[in-house]
Structure 1
Amino acid sequence: MTRTLVVAGHGMIGHRFADRLRTLDTSRDWHIVILAEEPHPAYDRSALSGYLAGRSRGDLTLADRDFLADARVELRLATALARVDRTAHVVVTRGGDHIRYDALVLATGSRPFVPPVPGRDLAHCFAYRTFEDLDAIRRVARPGAQGVVVGGGLLGLEAAYALSRLGVRPHIVETAPHLMPAQLDPGAAEVLHRRATELGLRLHCGTGVAHVHAGPDETVRAVTLGDGTALDVDLVVFAAGIRPRDELAEPLDLARGERGGFLVDALCRTADPRVWAIGECAAVQGRCHGLIAPGYAMADSVAAQLTGREGQSFDRTDDATTLKLLGVHVATFGATVHPGGPRPVEVTFADGIARYAKIFLRPDTGTVLGGILARDTTGSTSPLRSLVGHRPPADLERLLLP
């Protein structure tokens, strides 16, 4: 007998889950109903800046013809989940449709964080999250205009670079002392700072936006920073991070993590045996993960569980990243944050301000815990990740900075 699976959300993680389930469901036990809040199928949000650079929506779309034509998949666009009756196992959409489910997977993702600064609701203030956001930015951006990007993390750097390619001269405002504070230490960030400055990005670190001011036409005309700096600008883009979309937790009577997100165990299960949460909205054992790779691992685990296989427990102590930003190869591997326990030994290699690497070693055994790299060349961290748990080789410096 066919069972009904409801997936709330059709972002990158929700799509990965549904597609993986299709592959594993060889006995065709599941009918998959996907509630997509946006009016189009899932797309590669990590490549969204390419949309401003000229790529089409179709270029970024993840749902191929086989997926859209699969009779087992019912994709409902522009349809959001409004409430859930966990006793009757029924979801209700905002349009009033009732759908009975045998399993419910919450993949509601996240929303942009917009700091509560005066003037943030003015015309020409934008988020940087969807096709519609970027369409609005493109309508306003013009060569020679001045812009402020609020946030110096990965998304903020992408937004600033995309604006520069539209002819806008961007400022980047980051409250931390340096760019990408969640991934990089000051030494690695210095390599990124140098390259950003060479590309014409103007950096304001260690301060925030205090006020966005309107001009006579009630659009953005200036920004005041926390350190008193005044900037004449034409648009503001908020790319200051994300927050989990967990607003359904309370009406579902499901627990949240300490910092938000649906609280789930290592197998992404909530307290309700019929309900799972994956991706940015899931607090796995209390912790949310904003990167794509952890979300894909969650999606694969739940797809395996729902098709009678053993799901992989999620133990993400290694949020490894490999990124190419502004012509700089940035990578982390292994554990780069070490709360509690003995302080690791830090070994740093640097070549001026163009290449930088730091390795963390266990003080008792000398084995590698993890590392951070920033350099002008491309490369892969795969051989570096294989060092974790082992003593470093004699040619470690050449391996890190070839």
Structure 2
Amino acid sequence: MTRTARTLVVAGHGMAGHRLVAELRSLDAAGAWRIVVLGEEPHPAYDRVALSSYLDGRSAADLALAGPWFLDDPLLDLRLSTGVAAVDRAARTVTTTAGDVVAYDALVLATGSRPFVPPVPGHDLPGCFGYRSLGDLDAIRAAAAAGRPGVVIGGGLLGLEAANALRLLGMEPHVVELAPRLMPLQVDAAGGGVLGRRVAQRGLRIHCGVATAAITAGPDGRVASVVLADGSSLEADVVVFSAGVRPRDELAGPAGLATGGRGGFLVDELCRTQDERIWAVGECAAVSGRCHGLAAPGYRMAASVARQLLGLGGEPFGEADPSTRLKLLGVEVASFGDAHAAAEGAVELSRLDEAAGTYAKLVLDADCRTLLGGILVGDARAYGELRPYVGLGLPAAGHRLLAGAA
């Protein structure tokens, strides 16, 4: 460490916060920065994208992102089970939840997000859980009983992962989704229909187009059922909320930092707040007013800020790539580009194979010459060839995919 080493405080040790520290250490050969990392969880950073695998045989160590090189680095001071309670911008200090005061030359807010819990009656009963951390999954595992029903509120990506987690624990999962289809952000009505039928074949009971009205308790005071807005009721020993997330930006108000219209620390294209010594990255950062809930945008932010801290010039964030390819309960799903044909004059060509349980849609411009986006359900093998052609002509894979399309 150089005699003139400055102190960087990183508030949060999730995936984006860890990537920032890893990028900075890889570039900072001279040891210009000493880094204090404050992580609220008792674990160092882990792969939250693979969280469900924790209930399928993988351990916390298997998911860990911080190897020995990180934990033994003399320029890193990692403090677990410790968050930031307050930021004093004038004094350039943070007060931790342990009561310590840490001075900083630069501060990066990487506080992530929290599950959104609909404010319905009974949402805080024993037996209700979020689906966000290893601690949440430990609590769900402890409460789960094989053969008993569990209800997941939310039918997006995380909701289906949570439902699969209950299935892995031997429970009988129900999924309640307010939208008329599963994964409404990624797929359209036809794709959602195929996805719904495929996951139902794997034991999930799907309830779309209906809101949750209340959660009721049994004689023991624990969750007993979920009452839906249509008057029906679902028996439940466990309720998991996975209806989206909200950015963790509670430090903003007391510190006098601006937030975006839908929350998150307001930052510019270089992830800078209005305070020249404070940045924000990951799900808590509202870049030009918009938060991004995927890992890849957070990694881009982290790399940019690391370079800025070393005076190397960071890349402006620009547009986030909404493309997604994943496998849920054995069902492949992919969406890319303008998947919902929002562009004026966009043309949609699709092919539905009920027997095979597959659906493919490509979105083209008005002249049918330029590929704008697409959706694949049940078979996403063409994704790798199609995605690079967004904004270009339709590749051969697109013509093969749509052969016989109506």
TM-score by length of 1: 0.95
Structure 1 vs Structure 2: percent identity of aligned residues? Answer: 58
Bigger Cα displacement from structure 2, 357-366 vs 202-211: 357-366
Deviations 1:238-272 (A, max 9, x none): 11110000111111211111111111111111111
- Report the equivalent of 1:130: 133
Alignment pair present for 1:166 and 2:169: yes
Deviations 1:144-168 (A, max 9, x none): 1111110101111011111111110
Alignment pair present for 1:8 and 2:5: no
Report the Cα distance in structure 2 between the residues aligned to 1:62 and 1:394, rounded to whole angstroms: 39
Offset at 1:365?
7.2
Report the Cα distance in structure 1 between the residues aligned to 2:402 and 2:267, rounded to whole angstroms: 37
Report the Cα distance in structure 2 between the residues aligned to 1:231 and 1:249, rounded to whole angstroms: 39
Deviations 1:46-75 (A, max 9, x none): 111111122211111111000100011100
Offset at 1:13?
0.9
Q: Aligned to 1:47, which of 36, 46, 50?
A: 50
Offset at 1:310?
2.3
Assess if the C-alpha contact under 8 Å between 1:317 and 1:335 holds in 2.
Answer: no
Report the Cα distance in structure 2 between the residues aligned to 1:363 and 1:338, rounded to whole angstroms: 11
Offset at 1:104?
0.6
**Structure 2: 5+ residue stretches without partners:** none
Q: Aligned to 1:70, which of 51, 69, 73?
A: 73
Report the Cα distance in structure 2 between the residues aligned to 1:167 and 1:128, rounded to whole angstroms: 17
- Report the equivalent of 1:22: 25
Q: Aligned to 1:280, which of 280, 283, 288?
A: 283
Alignment pair present for 1:335 and 2:338: yes
Report the Cα distance in structure 2 between the residues aligned to 1:13 and 1:181, rounded to whole angstroms: 26
Deviations 1:375-397 (A, max 9, x none): 2x453633212111112135523
Structure 1 pair 367–168 and aligned structure 2 pair: CA distance change class (3 A): same
Q: Aligned to 2:190, which of 169, 187, 190?
A: 187
Report the Cα distance in structure 1 between the residues aligned to 2:133 and 2:169, rounded to whole angstroms: 18
Report the Cα distance in structure 1 between the residues aligned to 2:125 and 2:387, rounded to whole angstroms: 46
Structure 1 pair 350–338 and aligned structure 2 pair: CA distance change class (3 A): closer
Q: Please provide the CA RMSD for this pair.
A: 1.7
Report the Cα distance in structure 2 between the residues aligned to 1:399 and 1:304, rounded to whole angstroms: 42
* Letter in structure 1 aligned against 2:110: A
Q: Secondary structure at the match of 2:332?
A: strand
Structure 1 pair 219–395 and aligned structure 2 pair: CA distance change class (3 A): closer
Report the Cα distance in structure 2 between the residues aligned to 1:194 and 1:365, rounded to whole angstroms: 31
Bigger Cα displacement from structure 2, 47-56 vs 352-361: 352-361
Q: Secondary structure at the match of 2:389?
A: coil
* Letter in structure 1 aligned against 2:365: R
- Report the equivalent of 1:345: 347
Report the Cα distance in structure 1 between the residues aligned to 2:382 and 2:43, rounded to whole angstroms: 34
- Report the equivalent of 2:267: 264
- Report the equivalent of 1:110: 113
* Letter in structure 1 aligned against 2:166: L
* Letter in structure 1 aligned against 2:308: Q
Q: Secondary structure at the match of 1:27?
A: coil
* Letter in structure 2 aligned against 1:232: E
Report the Cα distance in structure 1 between the residues aligned to 2:321 and 2:98, rounded to whole angstroms: 41
Offset at 1:290?
0.4
Deviations 1:134-184 (A, max 9, x none): 111111211111111101011110111111111100110000000011111
- Report the equivalent of 1:230: 233
**Structure 1: 5+ residue stretches without partners:** none
4+ long deviations beyond 4 Å: none
Bigger Cα displacement from structure 2, 182-191 vs 13-22: 182-191
Assess if the C-alpha contact under 8 Å between 1:257 and 1:283 holds in 2.
Answer: yes
- Report the equivalent of 1:140: 143
Number of equivalent positions: 399
Assess if the C-alpha contact under 8 Å between 2:386 and 2:395 holds in 1.
Answer: no
* Letter in structure 2 aligned against 1:384: L
